[in-house]
Structures are given as structure tokens and as C-alpha cells.
Amino acid sequence: MSVDLSQFHEVFFEECFECLDLMETELSSLDLEDVDLEKLNTVYRSAHTIKGSGAMFGFDGASNYAHTLEKHLKSMHAGDVKITQETKDILFSAIDFLRGIITQLQNQQAVDQDNLQKHRDSIESELCRLAST
């Protein structure tokens, strides 16, 4: 017996948008001179939630993109990456892009997988570059 998960899609979308809003709020209020690790952890947990829920519903592109964010947020929390305005700007860009992906999924529009992968690679490259400086 299989369960039709599409009946839960709207809850998934609502949760994603709440997580994205929370990520933006916490990131906006992050003081670069005295980083509150709990705020950063909240951003991480939100990305983690989107990753896990997206995978459960078969939205692999959104899940993989959120995983990239989650991985780098974990490095930031561990102190491996200094959080700068540039780091925040990259994260804001990633959050905006992920919001667009979730909106497309909600509207049952096809997600351009090539564009998603290019953006994910770009974010990955930028955050890795910052980790090595």
C-alpha cells in the first residue's frame, strides 16, 4: 500500500516558507562583531528541515540545494568560516533562490534543473572560497 503524499504538499510549502522567513530574520539580525551561534543554529536547522522534508516529498532539487546550505552553515557554526557581510550576502542570495524553487514547486511549475545546479555550484564555490581565506 502506498500513501499519496501530495495531500501534504501544502503543509510542506507552508513550512518551507516559514523556514525561509526565519532564516532571513535570523541572518538579518546577526551581528558580525559578535556572532550569536544560536541564531546561526536556527538558520542551520531551517535549512535542515527543508532538506529533509524536500527529500521526503521527492523534491530532490530543493533538498539538495538546502543540503548545500546546511553543510556550509555547519562549517560556519564550527568556526571554520568567518561570517562576514559577503558571507551573509551569499546566504541571502541562496535563500532567495531557494524561495524561488519552492514557489515553482508550489505552483506546479517545472524547475530548471540545469539552472538549479549552476546556482548550487556557484554558491558552493563562493562559500568554499571564503572557507579557505
pLDDT digits (tens, 9 = 90+) for 62-83: 999 999 999 999 999 998 888 9
Specify the number of domains making up the chain. 1
State if pTM tops 0.85: yes
Q: Which domain holds residue 88?
A: 5-131
The answer to whether 83 and 76 have CB atoms below 8 angstroms apart is yes
pLDDT for 63 equals 95
Cell numbers 557554526 correspond to what residue?
77
Any idea what the CATH number is for the domain that residue 76 is in? 1.20.120.160
Question: What phi and psi values does residue 45 have, to the nearest 5 degrees?
Answer: -60, -35
Mean pLDDT to the nearest integer, 20-28: 97
